[in-house]
């Protein structure tokens, strides 16, 4: 008897995931769902050789309308290695939250300032600092930029009166306003000021339920996820969320648990660079806290990936502990240093870019590492084992991949 089939069978038995359904929930970016899918396909292709994988995927995935303002893009990732093969159906979801970025610059700034004030008045900001003090710095960052712009505008608007008297205001005040508007545009392009203001406005609106259309879209995503799980014959189901996608994933997973569509399969949850606590720590976010409690108490394997390099995540937090959820299975939090995943040149290119660094969780790795978004979601290891171990193991990728 040929030894090769026996070796393949033995390896596949060691890695029993032959089919997987992966539901992906991206963060707050003004991108269509096709762009999120293209990013996954591109970055998974770059990651595959590092782990000795070969992945067959389409060049792109077409968008499908799920409901008003909700789209999905699905494709198959057929990954294989030495003696194993895993086919993952990857589904990306996107809700239309781009209305924030379509407003005027001044409207975006004022709405963001109002949201930041809400987080201070409700005491949520102080919960941020208590949970992860570094997140307090991220909170203060857009306020500091705004104060600098105001100071520059006031300087231009008022300083000429020292030499030319009050009549100079007829010229200096419009000049100060122009300086402020120009600075606002530059700060938005280079320091992401208005994106951050939209981000905070969105978080406040989600926490308080101020946008019924967004709430309805999240419910539509959850309903579609439940339907896909019910139809799927996959060995395992994984919910994977980046940044703001964490709260949509939490609602969808909670709905799947309550709908009893898993058929004995144990789902998994991976949150990377999560902004769950950004919303859940707000006193108005009762529904999100309830959904999180449902997931924790159901014993779902939950891997929460954090990084010191990323200033936008709740570093050293434990979502279950910090939300006061008793019982169940808390997430296994692992910490990643992007420096150890990338070449020195690649790391230097991203480390000063706030949001590019925050997106590194869902980008390719260049050196084999215990964390890789794409190797975890496309490779053969059962997600529950990855979660329990706190990362990937090397053995399945030893052939064809060089150790870092």
150 alpha-carbon distance from chain centroid: 32
- Does an H or E element contain 224, and which? helix 212-231
pLDDT tens digits, 204-246: 999 999 889 999 999 999 999 999 999 999 999 999 999 999 9
8 A C-beta contact, residue 292 and residue 119:
no
Q: How confident is the model at residue 12 (pLDDT cuts 50, 70, 90)?
A: very low
Measured CA to CA, the distance from residue 333 to residue 338 in angstroms comes to 16
124 alpha-carbon distance from chain centroid: 21
Assess whether pLDDT exceeds 50 at residue 1.
no
Q: Domains in the chain, start-ordered, CATH in brackets? A: 3-96+213-397 (3.40.50), 103-204 (no CATH)
Q: How confident is the model at residue 98 (pLDDT cuts 50, 70, 90)?
A: confident
Q: How confident is the model at residue 166 (pLDDT cuts 50, 70, 90)?
A: low
The torsion of the CA quartet 93, 44, 332, 385, rounded to 10 degrees, works out to 110
Res 164: pLDDT = 65
Measured CA to CA, the distance from residue 251 to residue 23 in angstroms comes to 13
Q: How confident is the model at residue 403 (pLDDT cuts 50, 70, 90)?
A: very low
Token digits of residue 313: 């995540």
Strand partners, 21: 89, 237
pLDDT tens digits, 60-83: 899 999 999 999 999 999 999 988
DSSP letter, residue 263: T
Place of tokens 């910490």: 335
Assess whether pLDDT exceeds 70 at residue 165.
no
Pairing, β 70-81 against β 63-67: antiparallel
Res 219: pLDDT = 96
Assess whether pLDDT exceeds 60 at residue 14.
no
Res 397: pLDDT = 47
Token digits of residue 121: 């008045």
- Neighbouring residues of 138: CB distance < 8 A, sequence distance ≥ 6: 311, 312
Assess whether pLDDT exceeds 90 at residue 392.
yes
Measured CA to CA, the distance from residue 61 to residue 76 in angstroms comes to 9
Q: How confident is the model at residue 172 (pLDDT cuts 50, 70, 90)?
A: low
Pairing, β 19-25 against β 54-56: unpaired
Measured CA to CA, the distance from residue 258 to residue 143 in angstroms comes to 41
Average pLDDT over residues 394-399: 51
8 A C-beta contact, residue 202 and residue 244:
yes
Assess whether pLDDT exceeds 60 at residue 404.
no
DSSP 274-316: --HHHHHTSTT-HHHHHHHHHHHHTT--EEEEE-TT-TTS-TT
Token digits of residue 286: 């009762």
């Amino acid at each position: 008897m040929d030894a090769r089939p026996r070796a393949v069978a033995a390896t596949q038995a060691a890695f029993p995931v032959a089919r997987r359904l992966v539901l992906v929930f991206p963060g707050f970016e003004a991108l269509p769902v096709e762009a999120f899918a293209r990013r996954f396909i591109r970055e998974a292709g770059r990651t595959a050789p590092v782990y000795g994988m070969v992945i067959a995927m389409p060049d792109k995935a077409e968008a499908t309308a799920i409901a008003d303002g909700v789209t999905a893009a699905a494709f198959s990732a057929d990954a294989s290695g030495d003696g194993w093969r895993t086919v993952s159906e990857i589904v990306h979801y996107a809700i239309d939250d781009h209305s924030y970025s379509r407003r005027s610059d001044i409207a975006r700034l004022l709405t963001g300032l109002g949201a930041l004030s809400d987080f201070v008045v409700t005491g949520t900001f102080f919960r941020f600092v208590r949970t992860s003090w570094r997140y307090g710095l991220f909170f203060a960052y857009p306020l500091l930029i705004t104060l600098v712009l105001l100071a520059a505008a006031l300087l231009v608007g008022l300083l000429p009166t020292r030499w030319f008297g009050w009549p100079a205001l007829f010229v200096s005040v419009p000049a100060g306003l122009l300086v402020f508007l120009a600075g606002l545009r530059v700060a938005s392009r280079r320091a992401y000021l208005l994106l951050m203001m939209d981000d905070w406005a969105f978080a406040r609106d989600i926490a308080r339920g101020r946008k019924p259309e967004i709430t309805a879209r999240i419910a539509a995503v959850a309903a579609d996820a439940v339907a896909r799980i019910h139809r799927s014959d996959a060995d395992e189901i994984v919910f994977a969320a980046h940044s703001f996608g964490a709260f949509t994933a939490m609602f969808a997973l909670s709905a799947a648990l309550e709908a009893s569509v898993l058929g004995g399969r144990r789902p998994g949850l991976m949150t990377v660079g999560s902004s769950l606590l950004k919303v859940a720590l707000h006193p108005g976010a009762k529904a999100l806290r309830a959904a999180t409690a449902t997931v924790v108490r159901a014993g779902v394997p939950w891997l929460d990936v954090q990084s010191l390099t990323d200033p936008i995540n709740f570093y050293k937090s434990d979502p279950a502990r910090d939300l006061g959820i008793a019982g169940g299975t808390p997430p296994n939090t692992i910490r990643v240093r992007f420096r150890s995943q990338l070449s020195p040149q690649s790391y230097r290119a991203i480390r000063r870019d706030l949001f590019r660094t925050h997106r590194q969780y869902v980008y390719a790795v260049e050196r084999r590492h215990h964390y890789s978004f794409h190797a975890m979601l496309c490779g053969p290891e059962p997600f529950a084992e990855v979660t329990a171990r706190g990362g990937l193991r090397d053995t399945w990728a030893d052939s064809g991949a060089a150790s870092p």
